[in-house]
Structure 1
């Protein structure tokens, strides 16, 4: 019986989580090579003078979020190995919280800003909102799991991972000439995470509005 169920089970890569994971793996690999690798190899210390330790720690947190979050999407899509899924999820939340808080600290510091200029720029506010949104989504996902609302937990974790990916997309797209200047930086940063989040919400809610779906 178990073998028959395993045979009839659709490929993980054809599920919602599988598609999201595949897209995240490809784009994240490009982003890590472009942005995180120079920090990991200590080759751009001069570009982060005065705050490289924070940048390095943030790189570790962000890399951990992508790896652990992606691995847990894979486990969730397979609907198996729940003890491992739980431990990996706990690690994702812990290292993700660490990375998001560091992102807030760096964003709200004078790092990468004009000397003597304002700290609270449009870009600063937008990036701070993105990090804060991840912390909120992660907390809601954790709360849902604690209350054994696993469908809600899964949705919030997918949303949180979309925001992790949005960090990646924002960094990669900002390397394209003039894209980062859209709306003085504010519009671009907000669109880089609000847009994917809206698409994610459509994908999450679409099956629940189909014919024959039950509450």
Structure 2
């Protein structure tokens, strides 16, 4: 009976991973659709609307292009890195893709996001929110890389999960923005709420899960 229960659990786990990966892939693809309007920048529509006055003069364009060039790659690499099969049967591929993920986050995604945060729609609340995401993503990715270098692979995996959860805030922002847009509240407030919901609840749940896992591991070691 225990083996059957374990089998069902792992099947359910794979199904959940597949659904999550499919959702990330689908929404991530949708995020790419406005890209033709970014080269050259179209300031009359979409995300770049009303940004012409500071796009070049403030250096915003550097962070913008660094971020949009690397963030989609990070999202798609993370999907592959979630695969336990690849981690176990193709460790070299996992390691190489992981190194690519680390470098694009440290050099492109996080620094670019931090520059963009200074001009975020929604004022100081959104600026603080996206600034924290960028800083936290840089730190968690760097710590994850250091843990791997020290062969502390369980800690490495947990820190990388933190990093990728922050990466997926871009996905969750679109989801919550769509859901909250149906409410009769101010558009700016709705965006601010969506921004914080895009990562804070997920990170809290992740930390609660890791706390439980680490406590069980420590208990097993002591006993």
> Fold-level match, TM-score > 0.5?
yes
| Conserved 8 A contact 1:21-1:70 | no
Tell me, which stretches of 5 or more residues in structure 2 are unaligned?
1-5, 56-60
RMSD (Å) for aligned C-alpha atoms: 3.5
State the Cα distance separating 1:12 from its structure 2 match: 11
Q: 1:151 to 1:199 in 2, by over 3 A?
A: same
1:141 aligns with 2:144: yes
Q: Is the 8 A contact 2:78 2:164 kept in 1?
A: yes
Question: SS of the counterpart of 1:148?
Answer: coil
Of 38, 45, 50, the residue aligned with 2:42 is: 45
Contact 1:68-1:88 within 8 A present in 2 as well: yes
Q: Is the 8 A contact 1:122 1:185 kept in 2?
A: no
In the alignment, which of 196, 215, 220 is matched to residue 213 of structure 1?
220
Distance in 1 (CA, whole Å) between partners of 2:8 and 2:103 is 30
Q: Which shifted more, 54-63 or 188-197?
A: 54-63
* Alignment partners' CA distance in 2, 1:15 and 1:141: 27
Distance 1:184 1:63, change over 3 A: closer
Write the distance in 1 (CA, Å) between the matches of 2:141 and 2:16.
Answer: 18
Deviation of 1:78 after TM superposition, in Å, equals: 4.4
Q: What SS does the aligned partner of 1:213 have? A: helix
| Cα distance in structure 2, aligned partners of 1:200 and 1:150 | 17
TM-score (norm 2): 0.72
Residue in structure 2 matched with residue 27 of structure 1 by the alignment: 23
Mapped contact 1:104–1:131 kept (Cα < 8 A): yes
2-structure distance, mates of 1:40, 1:197:
33
Q: CA–CA distance in 2 between the matches of 1:26 and 1:80?
A: 22
Q: State the 1:200 CA deviation.
A: 1.6
**Aligned counterparts of 2:173 and 2:99: Cα–Cα separation in 1:** 26
Q: Which runs of 5+ in 1 are unaligned?
A: 1-8, 114-119
Q: Say if 1:101 and 1:131, in contact at 8 Å, map to a contact too.
A: yes
Q: 1:10 to 1:139 in 2, by over 3 A?
A: farther
CA contact (8 A) 2:102 2:141 kept: yes
Q: How far, CA to CA, are the matches of 2:143 and 2:37 in structure 1? A: 35
Q: Which residue of 1 aligns with 2:3?
A: none
Matched, 1:93 2:94: no
CA 35–136 in structure 1, closer or farther in 2 if over 3 Å, else same: same
Bigger relative contact order, structure 1 or 2, given CA contacts below 8 A and separation 6+?
Answer: 1
CA–CA separation in structure 2 for the residues paired with 1:11 and 1:60: 40
In structure 2, the CA distance between the partners of 1:91 and 1:107, relative to structure 1 (3 Å rule), is same
Q: CA deviation at 1:24?
A: 3.6
Seen in structure 2, the aligned counterparts of structure 1 residues 191 and 182 have a Cα distance that, compared at 3 Å, is farther
The 1:53/1:142 distance shift into structure 2, 3 A limit, reads closer
**Residue number in structure 1 paired with 2:90:** 81
TM-superposed deviation, 1:191: 2.8
Tell me the matched-pair count: 199
Normalising by structure 1, we get a TM-score of: 0.74
